[in-house]
Amino acid sequence: MKNLWILIHKYNAFFLFILFFGLSCYLVVKNNTFQRASAVNSSNYFVGTVYAWVNGWKSYLHLSESNTRLAEENASLREQLQRFTHADSVERVTVVDSARQVQYNYIVARVTNNSIHQKNNYITIDKGRKHGIRKGMGVIGAKGIVGIVLNVSEHFSTIQSLLHSESRISASLEDSQAFGSLVWGDSYDARYAALRDIPNHVKVRDGERVYTSGYSLFPPGIEIGKVAGSGSSGGDSFLDIRVELSTPFHNLLQVYVVEDVFAEEKAALEALTDKDG
């Protein structure tokens, strides 16, 4: 403390200058509109620069995590491109014409709004009719399914999230390939859903993967999650399977809208079959 007082006494003129200079700047800014506006603009620029610098460092520090996530996503997309092709083979005597036509196209979109805490949750994306999106298309993320396109405008679309009381997705178990309906709403927890309509004689193990069956809007084999517990339902005829979802809905930033090239053809054929029946 003694040294501090000695320092202040030794440089008292300098400290007084700083004090009066700061006071004079304050009075000038306070009592003059032009100077006040200039000071505000300068302070905003300075604060903005500091925030940009801090965010830049944050981004740099998280580069490793971002690169890992992008690598996983790229690997998943490569697997999908290899698996999700439709084989259209025509055989005539000894001549074999094997043409492999891609059945699913993917439209990349950014999430602009998302809810996870409601009974019925919806997601808004920045792609719409202009980009080829239509009502009823399936939507997936880097790690699993997201929902179904509900409404479409020229530049935006809303998605009925998987976290919706009326969502029904056909899903199958990894080991037995038994399929049922994936629903949400029992616990209203964004991390879990329930797989229904699986007969109770099917053996289910904890940690078993759950995938899309291919009987709905989604390509087969897309991971939905893993079994987190199972037991008999009230009637004892079907199992009540708890599924831990693989999609992180709490930080969903980017999605892929799935376009089934053969969707209209399939729908028209099924409508004709129903009519004949």
Distance CA 151, CA 141 (A): 19
Boundaries of domain holding 175: 104-277
pTM summary value: 0.65
Confidence of residue 4 (pLDDT cuts 50, 70, 90): low
CB 258 within 8 A of CB 103: no
Same domain, 142 and 194: yes
Distance CA 43, CA 257 (A): 43
Q: Does residue 72 fall inside a structural domain? A: no
Same domain, 51 and 166: no
Same domain, 55 and 115: no
Same domain, 113 and 57: no
Same domain, 46 and 134: no
Q: Supply the mean pLDDT for the chain.
A: 77
- Count how many domains the chain has: 2
74 against 2, higher pLDDT: 2
Same domain, 248 and 138: yes
Q: Does residue 116 fall inside a structural domain? A: yes
DSSP-assigned letters across all residues of the chain = -HHHHHHHHHTHHHHHHHHHHHHHHHHHHHH-HHHHHHHHHHHHHHHHHHHHHHHHHHHHHTHHHHHHHHHHHHHHHHHHHHH-EEEEEEEETTEEEEEEEE-EEEEEEEEEEE--SSSEEEEEES--GGGT--TT-EEE-SSSEEEEEEEE-SS-EEEEEEEETT--EEEEETTT--EEEEE--SS--TTEEEEEEEETTS---TT-EEEE-SSSSSPTT-EEEEEEEEEE-TTSSEEEEEEEESS-GGG--EEEEEEETTHHHHHHHHHHHHHH-
pLDDT for residue 95 is more than 80: no
Same domain, 45 and 112: no
Q: Does residue 237 fall inside a structural domain? A: yes
Same domain, 118 and 199: yes
- Percentage of the chain exceeding pLDDT 70: 65
Q: Does residue 139 fall inside a structural domain? A: yes
pLDDT for residue 139 is more than 80: yes
Q: Does residue 86 fall inside a structural domain? A: no
Among residues 61, 77, 96, the one where a domain terminates is: 61
Same domain, 227 and 135: yes
